[in-house]
Structure 1
Amino acid sequence: MSSFHIYGHRGSSGTHPENTLLSFQAAHKAGAQGIELDVQLTKDLVPVVIHDERLERTTNGIGFVKDFLYEDLVRLDAGHSFSSRFQGNSIPSLKSVLEWITSNSLMLNIELKNGRFPYDHLETKVLELLTHYHLYDRTIISSFNHYSIQRLTQNGCKVETAILLMEKLVEPWDYLQQVGANSIHIECGAIDEYFITNTHKRGIPVRAFTVNDPYQIAALKKAGCSAIFTDFPLVAMQSI
């Protein structure tokens, strides 16, 4: 429980277009131990790396990710809305990111974006790719959709699973057991001493998101957090 890890939140999303290969490479270059990314399914059931259900904020596309075929989705520009100098970057497939990850030792947090749309085959497709690339041992699968996490654990998932929380729960460790997950990923403002002490006592990893303030990062490390997710991995690495 003593090691503390920095995960690039959607890569180095404070300095590069989020959830692009370029952003993940920047997080790796900054020295982060891991990256966090979001996965949804295209109309033809290809897992792609993008946060919003809609395309407008991060790309030049219009509409829902789920309504596009993969071949149409990859033609969109996922860099220009961040900065014109990143124009031409595309939405990566999960496959392409996993292929790249096999060339390094980064840890990986895959967030299943199935809160708004259930994406019936999402868990299966993600597990198939993780199996293919032998990445079970350095991957965590998380979601705000706790039914999805429960399904994974009930089906004997060998990958570490985490529930995502935005606020404090009463006895979250009991709830975690109910879902069958291994760890808690929680909004940094919802963490207090009682939560950390009691979660630690039970050997449950706690990872905080999204933490960009160097003093807060240092404080969470001191408090015994297992990891933080940050938009600025280079700044985070310099603060620990």
Structure 2
Amino acid sequence: MKRLLPRRIRTVVLCAPLLLSSSCVLAFDLQGHRGARGLMPENTLAAFEAGASAGVSTLELDIAVTADGIPVISHDPRLNPAFTRDEKGAWIQGQGPAIHALRLDELRRYDVGRLDPGSRYAAGLPRQMPRDGQRIPTLRELLRLLGTPAFAARPLQLNIETKSDPFHPELQPPPEEFVTRIVAVLREAGFERRATLQSFDWRTLAAARRLAPEIPRACLSTPKTLQDPAWTDGRRQADFASAPAMAADAGCAIWSPAFAGLDAAQVNEAHRLGLAVLPWTVNRPEDMKRLIDLGVDGLISDEPDLALPLLREKGLAVAPLPRP
């Protein structure tokens, strides 16, 4: 199947000389979901090291903000009892406290380095290895890690999700403040040219477009969020011909849909509109193969190592999306 190239974000072509001719391959942005959640405890420094070792081009992560205004890396707005232990080593019970209600020093008391073996959550991640003593890291700590010599040879990109819920404003700062705090850390470390910002809450993407236009944005979506203007910053699905058209109208460079319903017509439409297509969260090799054949520009996976043989078979090289 011929792979269509986005117009505004052109797919990189990598070439290596071979005697009298040259061999060229298209680039594919392989992203480690929450670092590499299938291999190491999610959104921990251990998971980001595992993702880098697995050969990803981009580390995907989520941001929450503590009560004292510090961006930390967590998918859940509340501490998750499936992998969180208290200072005594006991699994927390019931609904965990909101991260936005905890100071960083309070958050540091919890260990997130092991799955509760009795949880349903653990059953879905059979390859994840424990790493006791892992704490929820700050965004600054991850950037410092990526600045060390061990990571210098192959600079990784970051795909940063604002964990923002328009129906629960008590769990995060307002959109402008949320984005301001993330961008400040990125700029302080000189990382703004190595990051994208993504969200289901497109209000935060609108704020990012105003506050940091140099950082590309990815519109995350599910069929449910596309139907509710609270998630799409006021856009109504009935006013647009397609989901990619909504993402393009929002000023996104990337459309990141749930992978299950994605088809060739949607991929082609996104490319026609100049959008790269980056589905989530793709863990089974048969799904990876189907999406690669559709011509997606990358994918987000808990187990990115499983994609590497398929990419080699298709003649695709792991590399981040070119910046617009």
TM-score range, shorter chain: over 0.9
| Structure-to-structure mapping, 1:54-73, within 5 angstroms | 54-57=78-81, 58-60=83-85, 62-73=96-107
Letter in 2 for 1:225: V
Equivalent residues of 2:77, 2:98 under 8 A apart: yes
CA RMSD in angstroms, aligned pairs only: 1.8
Instruction: Give 1:16's aligned residue.
Output: 40
State which drifts further: 56-65 or 120-129.
56-65
Instruction: Give 1:166's aligned residue.
Output: 222
Q: What SS is found at the alignment partner of 2:209?
A: helix
Deviation of residue 132 (structure 1)?
1.3
Deviation of residue 82 (structure 1)?
5.5
Q: 2:97 and 2:208 mapped to 1: Cα distance?
A: 29
For residue 139 of structure 2, the aligned residue among 94, 97, 100 is 94
State which drifts further: 201-210 or 35-44.
201-210
Equivalent residues of 1:7, 1:233 under 8 A apart: yes
For residue 221 of structure 1, the aligned residue among 275, 286, 292 is 292
Q: 2:265 and 2:310 mapped to 1: Cα distance?
A: 25
Letter in 2 for 1:74: R
Q: Name segments (4+ residues, structure 1) moved above 6 Å.
A: none
Structure 2 unaligned segments of length 5 or more: list them: 1-10, 12-25, 87-95, 118-128, 227-236, 312-324
Q: 1:223 and 1:25 mapped to 2: Cα distance?
A: 30
Q: What SS is found at the alignment partner of 1:55?
A: coil
TM-score, normalization by structure 2? 0.70
For residue 202 of structure 2, the aligned residue among 143, 146, 152 is 146
Q: Which has the higher contact order (CA 8 A, sep 6+)?
A: 2
State which drifts further: 35-44 or 53-62.
53-62
Deviation of residue 139 (structure 1)?
1.0
Deviation of residue 215 (structure 1)?
2.2
Deviation of residue 219 (structure 1)?
2.3
Q: How many residues were matched structurally? A: 240
C-alpha distance 156-124 of structure 1, shift in aligned 2 (>3 A) = closer
Structure 1 unaligned segments of length 5 or more: list them: none
| Structure-to-structure mapping, 1:131-142, within 5 angstroms | 131-142=187-198
TM-score, normalization by structure 1? 0.93
Q: 1:82 and 1:88 mapped to 2: Cα distance?
A: 14
Equivalent residues of 1:37, 1:50 under 8 A apart: yes
For residue 178 of structure 1, the aligned residue among 245, 249, 252 is 249
Structure number with bigger Rg: 2
Q: 1:143 and 1:186 mapped to 2: Cα distance?
A: 11
Q: 1:17 and 1:109 mapped to 2: Cα distance?
A: 18
Instruction: Give 2:108's aligned residue.
Output: 74
Deviation of residue 123 (structure 1)?
0.4
State which drifts further: 24-33 or 57-66.
57-66
Cα deviations across residues 74-111 of structure 1 (Å, max 9, x unaligned)?
22101133679422111100110111123431111000
Equivalent residues of 2:195, 2:215 under 8 A apart: yes
